Amino acid sequence: MTALTSPLGRLRWTLTDGLTLVGRELGRLRHDPGELVAALIFPAVMVLLFGYVFGSAIQVPDGGDYREYLMPGLFAMVTFSALMGVMTRMAADASRGVMDRFRSMPMARLAVPFGQTGADLLTGLLMLAIMVGAGLLVGWQPHRGLIPTAQAFLLMVVLRYALSWVGVYVGLAVKNDQVADAMVPLFLPFTMLSNAFVPTDGMPGWLRFLADWNPVSALTAASRELFGNPGAPSGSVAWPLAHPVATVLLWSAALLLIFVPLSLRAYTRRGR
């Protein structure tokens, strides 16, 4: 058995090629600074827009500062942006023939999607850090100590990585990057239909059911609980909001189990 045919050899090959493509994606952002600047400004704009423009009109459950209530929801919204970002980049590479060039090289099959999701994770961490800084400037802060705070951010990272694989699959499944760009606004209501910005108590029953089972709501509720911010679930609530940490982990595991193999199959078929 040669080094590349053994399981360990294939894993090392995939990681090496994947890390090379992570560097390629980060280099592309360096040569296109406008995209990077827009991605980094977006979190700060969201904090100012929702925190000050809409905050005065919304009452926080059981009192409390709206910006402390809001920040976990904005963290969840930025986490969900992984799906849209990876989707558009994968569709652009596929429609412009970049994928065909990669397939002609002696490269591990998993390396291309691994490179895309790995690069998104790094840029997502930077976006998250900027949003944390903006939140601290407007008065948000975690109240339960270092370990629960770290657990909340770890949940965001795990779910972001899982969502990035959904983006890989959708980006490979659409016809071209124009279709992917047109689909981006369709995903935004998904983040709004949650408890990120307003409580779900006042929604109609069917709409509240959808919002309560939305992974964005679970991540928001888990973050509020771990940060000690207003709006943490209490009383009689839906199962995902009563057990938000477990729900986020279950969503993440399910998305990875479904979309990693689907993405690999789509990547293989796209070249036929």
Residue-wise pLDDT tens digits, 210-224:
999 999 999 999 999
Q: pLDDT tens across 89-105, in order? A: 888 877 877 666 766 66
Tell me, yes or no, whether 168 lies in a domain: yes
At 138, is the pLDDT very low, low, confident or very high (cuts 50, 70, 90)?
Answer: confident
Residue type, 66: Y
pLDDT at 95: 80
pTM for this predicted structure = 0.86
Tell me, yes or no, whether 1 lies in a domain: no
Contact in structure between 204 and 118 (CB atoms under 8 Å) = no
Average pLDDT over residues 151-176: 93
Provide the number of structural domains found in the chain: 1
Calpha distance 9→194 (Å, rounded): 44
Q: CB within 8 A of 61, min separation 6: which ones?
A: 69, 199, 201, 230, 231
Average pLDDT over residues 143-163: 95
Site of tokens 């016809």: 175
Tell me, yes or no, whether 2 lies in a domain: no
Tell me, yes or no, whether 206 lies in a domain: yes
Q: Tell which phi-psi region holds residue 65, choosing left (phi > 0), alpha (psi between -120 and 50) or beta.
A: beta
Tell me, yes or no, whether 80 lies in a domain: yes
Calpha distance 30→9 (Å, rounded): 32
pLDDT at 1: 43
pLDDT at 272: 56
Calpha distance 36→55 (Å, rounded): 28
Q: pLDDT tens across 48-74, in order? A: 777 777 666 677 766 778 888 889 999
Q: CB within 8 A of 129, min separation 6: which ones?
A: none
Average pLDDT over residues 25-41: 67
At 111, is the pLDDT very low, low, confident or very high (cuts 50, 70, 90)?
Answer: confident
Instruction: Determine the structural domain holding residue 91 and report its residue range.
Output: 7-268
More confident call, 232 vs 178: 178
Residue by residue, DSSP assigns 141-170 as ---S-HHHHHHHHHHHHHHHHHHHHHHHHH
Tell me, yes or no, whether 33 lies in a domain: yes
Tell me, yes or no, whether 63 lies in a domain: yes
Tell me, yes or no, whether 201 lies in a domain: yes
**Percent of the chain beyond pLDDT 90?**
32
